[in-house]
Structure 1
């Protein structure tokens, strides 16, 4: 980005090469894109993601219902360490349980519950769909918003990184062109270097 600082000073400098001026303009364009386009892209991506996730959260909250399940007896099997509500990492184990579906029918099945020492007769809350099948907890509006913010930030950083990668690629090409011109100029004047009467 140092090329941007001297952009206006170089315009009338006889030592300024065309590639210097091009590099400065490329750096200025990249700076503007990183400062303006990257945040705008991140905001748009975040807003679109938020709208989609909020709609999914509303649908899940309409279609998923909290019910109380009652432990019948341990179902056997190994204990697992699953993430429960709010990042809870308590040991969980499968149990045979009974619950009432939203349509009023009784259901029985194997569920995982926390704490691991659940005894017959203990109750715990689960989420079911309209048919009474156990499902994951519905997405909340706050969680959807958090995911959308992360998506927006990720998109902004990705856009800024892409702009910087393009800038570096262009500058690398300009530097290579400078060296090629320098090599050609040296090839023309090199054989006469240091010779008297060679017009130097």
Structure 2
């Protein structure tokens, strides 16, 4: 509203400069873009991301399968090269063990996997995710997580578009201000030497 009022105010003002009217139009266009283009960019990005993640979820559900693994024995924990608080916290939650499992295609596998079991004894069972050939993979993404990622992507795109619009407006206004100062310096340079002299028209 302020941008629209600025355009209307400078429309017939006898003191207005060309740059004043141009700045008001820039502010109005920027406001309209913030109200239309930024939300549109966010919606489009969110929609495309949502569709892409939905397809990824469908593919993962088709390619990844839960199977039951049986504990054979604990696996020796790898020694960290340096102290890492995050990795230390992760080792407290997941324990490496040697287990066996049967893949969807019927093949049998044995290997080192991690589990959240506090006490992993031989014969205990737990669920792992594998591909069709029996290779251990991560759990497939769920629809709720995909939707959250899509929403965050849309919000990020909208904020980025709004930031670009605001920065473009500021750059244009800064150039206008510099042009005004340059013209003022030129006018002052022309009138300055005769300022206050009798008969100089000052």
Q: TM-score, normalised by structure 2?
A: 0.91
- Aligned match of 2:133: 131
1:45 aligns with 2:45: yes
Superposition CA RMSD, Å? 1.7
Displacement of 1:146:
1.2
C-alpha deviations, 1:41-83, integer Å up to 9, x for none? 110111111111101100100110001111100011148543x
- Aligned match of 2:13: 13
Out of 146, 159, 162, the position equivalent to 1:160 is 162
* Aligned structure 1 segments of 4 or more residues deviating by more than 2 angstroms: 1-6, 78-82
Q: TM-score, normalised by structure 1?
A: 0.91
Displacement of 1:117:
2.8
Displacement of 1:2:
5.2
- Aligned pairs (5 A) from 1:53-132: 53-78=53-78, 81-82=89-90, 91-132=93-134
* Aligned residues of 1:81 and 1:92 also touching (Cα < 8 A): no
Count residues with an aligned counterpart.
194
* Aligned residues of 1:45 and 1:151 also touching (Cα < 8 A): yes
What residue ranges of structure 2 are gaps of 5+ in the alignment?
Answer: 79-86
What residue ranges of structure 1 are gaps of 5+ in the alignment?
Answer: 83-88
* Aligned residues of 2:73 and 2:97 also touching (Cα < 8 A): yes
Q: Aligned equivalents of 1:125 and 1:169: distance in 2?
A: 57
